Amino acid sequence: MKITFVIRTLCMGGMEHSTVKMANYWAAQGCDVSILTLADRKVFFQLNPTITLIVADFFELDAPRLRRPLAWLRDRKRRISKLRSILRSEQPDAIIACWGDSNVVALLANIGLSIPVFVTERTSAENAVCEPYNTLRHWLYPQAAGVVVLHSAMKQQFSKKIQAKTTVIPNSVVLPDETNEDTVFKNEKAVRSDRWLMAMGRLVELKRFDELIRAFASVAPRYPAWNLVIWGDGPEKEALEALAGQLGMADRVRLPGNTREPIRELRKVDLFALTSRFEGFSNVLCEAIACGVAAVSYNCPCGPDVIIEHEKNGLLVPNGDFEGLKDALARMMSDDAFRNSCASNGPELLIKYSLVSVMDQWARLLASKVKPGVTTDILFHDGPS
């Protein structure tokens, strides 16, 4: 079984991480896996050495986006033809395109090749995908072998025709097996006097880290043991650091940049917060809770409501309810017993979103759509089910 993933980049990000987990899993199963990137040669994540990496240079990351669909097509006609030649040469049994423009490009390049293309939507498209992609996806998605979304609410953005071929498959949560280190961090948290609230993500406006800093600053004087760390990088970093200083929190709010060991950092902290305007699933929220960290999250579209069980492993706050966010943080920071109870229930997500379970859902979808004669048993963990 030969599978090609099409994705804009393999830089740091939740979508990129999920794609690499899928590719590595099937490569370890013995599949012939390639990843075709459209914009960048940088690879943040470790790839299975058997995976073939193909760089198409289809986009420049800072190139202006043309808003009219036909103008977009004319501008990229030659590059789409080049991409078609790559796919014709590779001859995969299935193509998995990873969100947004990658979906559109893969479907256009596949015209005349008849390779099953599975497109993925990682967030609510009306929030995250601008023209021309909103128009082009409605033109092209009916030609896909399947459309995969992370949350049932995402299906509603499509026509009935597209909904009929849409499948809900969540992301998986995978933690490295570091039992000894995990025990050390738990013991350290039990005896140390300071406490840490964490957030993680790209430092961009849609993550609303400014609201988190303001909410923390509002309740922090009552809880002097607590500090806030926000991992990530992006254009908002200087503004967020300045905001912390203006609020008198410069010594209690840290923005250390990116980390290559996010799980290790998550295991160290006492509470996690998500304040995004929207998400696709939020890998980091799922990972935090699975690590045994209680969480507070805005109930934004889409993802937090299927990851957090309110008052069992965390607290859900109505989306954008700033006062509710402050109250939820204060409750978690003041009530050790409640916070620890939520934390103890978190690892249940490792079962609910196990890699084997999620990948077998993908395997069933691919097996139902690839051409007759293609052997798909290798896709499954224990053979086809």
* Residue 351, CA atoms < 13 Å, CB-side half-sphere: 4
13 and 84 belong to one structural domain: yes
Question: Could you tell me the two tokens for 220?
Answer: 């922090």
pLDDT tier at 12 (50, 70, 90 boundaries)?
Answer: confident
**Judgement on whether residues 63 and 141 belong to the same structural domain of the protein:** yes
More confident residue, 233 or 280: 233
Residues 154 and 203 in one domain: no
Tokens of 291: 């690590």
**322, pLDDT greater than 70:** yes
What's the pLDDT score for residue 41?
A: 73
What is the strand order of the sheet 314-318 is part of? 253-257, 226-231, 195-200, 271-274, 294-299, 314-318
- Looking up tokens 């007759």 gives 372
Q: Please tell me whether residues 239 and 343 are part of one structural domain.
A: yes
Structure confidence at residue 185 as a pLDDT band (50, 70, 90): low
pLDDT for the residue numbered 79:
81
Read off the pLDDT of residues 128-150 as tens digits, 9 standing for 90 and up.
Answer: 455 566 778 888 999 999 999 99
| 384 within some domain | no
**What does the pLDDT read at residue 62?**
45
Structure tokens that stand for 222 in this block = 């009552």
pLDDT at 71 over 50: yes
Domain membership of residue 300 (yes or no) is yes
Taking residues 57-67, what's their average pLDDT? 57
The mean-pLDDT minimum among 89-93, 183-187, 247-251, 357-361 falls in: 183-187
Output the CA–CA distances (angstroms, integers) from residue 206 to 14, 155, 203, 235, in the order listed: 15, 22, 9, 12
Residue-level pLDDT at 385: 47
pTM: 0.84
Q: What is the CATH number of the domain that holds 295?
A: 3.40.50.2000
What does the DSSP 8-state code read for residue 206?
Answer: G
Instruction: Rounding to the nearest 10 degrees, give the CA dihedral for residues 2, 7, 9, 11.
Output: -80
- Return mean pLDDT, the chain: 89
Same domain, 142 and 225: no
Q: Does one domain contain both 48 and 160?
A: yes
Residues 121 and 26 in one domain: yes
Is residue 344 a part of any domain in this protein?
A: yes
Q: Are residues 207 and 168 in the same domain?
A: no
Give the pLDDT of residue 132.
Answer: 65
Q: What percent helix, strand, coil does the chain show, rounded to 5?
A: 45, 20, 35
Please tell me the predicted confidence (pLDDT) of residue 42. 82
Place of tokens 């050495």: 49
29 found inside a domain = yes
In a domain, 104, yes or no: yes
**Which one-letter DSSP state was computed for residue 293?**
-
In this structure, the strands spanning 271-274 and 195-200 are: parallel
Report whether pLDDT(16) > 80: yes
- Total domains present in the chain: 2
Query: What is the mean predicted confidence (pLDDT) over 204-215?
Result: 97
Share of the chain above pLDDT 70, in %: 90
Question: Average pLDDT, stretch 187-214?
Answer: 91
Domain membership of residue 298 as a residue range: 179-351
Instruction: Name the DSSP class of 119.
Output: E
Is the pLDDT at 384 greater than 90? The verdict is no
State whether 152 and 242 are in the same domain. Answer: no
359 vs 129, higher pLDDT: 359
- pLDDT, residue 171, reads 92
- Cβ-count burial of 77 within 10 angstroms (0-12 exposed, 13-18 middle, 19+ buried)? exposed
Report for 48-62, 180-194, 366-380: range of highest mean pLDDT: 366-380
Residue 385 within a domain: no
9 and 143 co-located in one domain? yes
Please tell me the distance from the alpha carbon of residue 203 to that of residue 213, in angstroms, as a whole number: 12
219 lies in the same domain as 365: no
Residue 183 has pLDDT above 90, yes or no: no
* Nearest-angstrom CA–CA distance, 174 and 328: 27
pLDDT above 60 (res 61)? no
The first and second tokens of residue 210, run together, are: 């400014």
Q: What is the pLDDT of residues 108-129, one digit of tens each?
A: 999 999 999 999 988 765 554 5
With bands split at pLDDT 50, 70 and 90, how would you rate the model's confidence at 107?
very high
Let me know whether 76 and 204 are in one domain.
no
Specify if 238 maps to a domain.
yes
Within 13 Å of residue 1, how many CA atoms lie on the same side as its CB?
A: 25
